[in-house]
Amino acid sequence: MAFSVRRIVTGHDSNGKAIVATDEQLPGAVSPSRPGVSRCEIWSADKMPVDNSEGAAAEAQRKGFVVRHNYVGSGQGNVCRIVEFSPGGTPFMHRTETLDYAILLKGECDLELDDGKRVRMKPGDICVQRGTIHAWAPVGPEPAVFAFVLIDADPVEMGGKKLTTVYPTR
């Protein structure tokens, strides 16, 4: 489960010309509470619109503003991360108050919904995850690697009830 991601961040020089501000390898971190899951936080912001100026909190954005569960949770934030799910790992059902773009980069994985239905995803497939309870279940012999972009969203309201975050802890 040792993987790394190259992160290239652009910026501006004193004349306003584009530069590569950083070019680095980021190691994936194994989740202590989720065996078989490693992730690498790429970037996040805690407000919209994002401040791209050189005086902005780029260091904090680089480190990540993840404050609630696995996403920003400020109501105006976003997160970009890479996640690797090992084959045979235990899927966990969860919901976040986000709009997620889940882009499968490598391997195969089932999107499982709370009614037990599964949809098989292959590399290049994208799931637009809209605040539903779901789990990721890798299939096959190799890890499933996703790029996730999570954007804070209002919780869905159904029948007068807000469908808020469900995030199991172990």
Q: Which of 67, 72, 43, 71 is nearest to 57 (CA)?
A: 43
Which helix (H) or strand (E) segment is 128 a member of?
A: strand 126-130
Position 82 pLDDT exceeds 70: yes
- pLDDT exceeds cutoff 90 at 99: yes
Domain 33-163 has CATH 2.60.120.10: yes
CA–CA separation, 149 vs 86, rounded Å? 20
Retrieve residue 158's tokens.
């159904």
**Percent of the chain whose predicted confidence (pLDDT) is above 70:** 93
pTM of the model: 0.90
For the chain, give every domain's residue range.
33-163
Confidence of residue 69 (pLDDT cuts 50, 70, 90): low
With bands split at pLDDT 50, 70 and 90, how would you rate the model's confidence at 1? low
- How far, in Å, are 21, 25, 94, 170 from residue 7 at the CA level? 11, 6, 28, 31
Convert the pLDDT of each residue in 8-32 to its tens digit: 999 989 999 999 999 999 999 987 7
At residue 53 the predicted structure's pLDDT band, cuts being 50, 70 and 90, is confident
